[in-house]
Amino acid sequence: MKKRIFVTATNTDIGKTYTTLKLLETYASRGVRVGAIKLVETGVVDGVYPDGDLLLSKLQELNPSLEDFRVSDIVPISYELPAAPYIASQGKALDFDVLNRAIDKMEAFCDVLIIEGAGGLFVPVDANFMMIDLIPFFNATALLVTHCSLGCINDTLLSLQPLQNRNIDAIMVFNCREEDQDFSIVSEPFFLNNDIEVLKLSQDIDTICDVLYNL
């Protein structure tokens, strides 16, 4: 089995796809064959995959052996309604056969597979699975993406605790944006004073990739 990294986040619109793209670029720059799967994407309308299209374009740029792949190979399950998969699918059970076939196909051409989740850890995928359940199911290491705006302490701790309680191998990265210039004053001191490592996507991507690969 190849190295699998599951990118999740404290909520939606935190930067999972952006983080996935940064991981792909960094590993590829080291000569590693990269692959990516977004297990489920919602909000797919008229054949436009907001995240899947970006991932496919980047993968074909970085890994020439994927030139014949289509977006459906990157996003094996999709729905039109922009909602949690459980809602968007009207309660349909997640088809793990479809997901496993997509992963097997991708892993034939890569050494590191980035699996991107949808929303946060407790987004319902179907009646039986939350997003957090898929991380150990697919034998992946987790990368938790959190934000740097006011409220990140609460949001981050609420997501870290269940990962720790389930003994899921995970690290955390802060996706700080231009408007988050006060992070070092209003939030970062708490993490540092409580021995929680602050890795920032913008400046620590090499360290992040090293740690994930060796977990």
pLDDT string in tens for the chain (215-residue length): 689 999 999 999 999 999 999 999 999 999 999 999 999 999 999 999 999 999 999 999 999 999 999 999 999 999 999 999 999 999 999 999 999 999 999 999 999 999 999 999 999 999 999 999 999 999 999 999 999 999 999 999 999 999 999 999 999 999 999 999 999 999 999 999 999 999 999 999 999 999 999 98
38 counts as catalytic: yes
Name, in order, each residue with C-beta under 8 angstroms of 53's C-beta and a sequence gap of 6 or more: 71
Sorted by where each begins, the domain ranges of the chain are 3-214
3-214: CATH topology is Rossmann fold (3.40.50)
- According to the model, what pLDDT value does residue 87 have? 98
- According to the model, what pLDDT value does residue 206 have? 97
CA angle 11, 59, 78 (to 5 degrees): 50
Tell me the two tokens of residue 83. 């909602």
- According to the model, what pLDDT value does residue 215 have? 85
Tell me the two tokens of residue 163. 């990962």
Q: What is the Cα–Cα distance from 161 to 170, expressed in whole angstroms?
A: 11
- The alpha carbon torsion through 145, 147, 153, 157 (nearest 10 deg) reads -20
- According to the model, what pLDDT value does residue 113 have? 98
Q: What is the pTM of this model?
A: 0.96
Q: How many CB atoms lie within 10 A of CB 11?
A: 16
Of 3, 16, 22, 38, the active-site residue reads: 38
Q: What is the Cα–Cα distance from 170 to 156, expressed in whole angstroms?
A: 13
- According to the model, what pLDDT value does residue 67 have? 97
- According to the model, what pLDDT value does residue 1 have? 66
Q: What are phi and psi of 75, to 5 degrees?
A: -120, 90
Name beta bridge partners: 35: 113
Q: What is the Cα–Cα distance from 20 to 114, expressed in whole angstroms?
A: 7
- According to the model, what pLDDT value does residue 173 have? 98
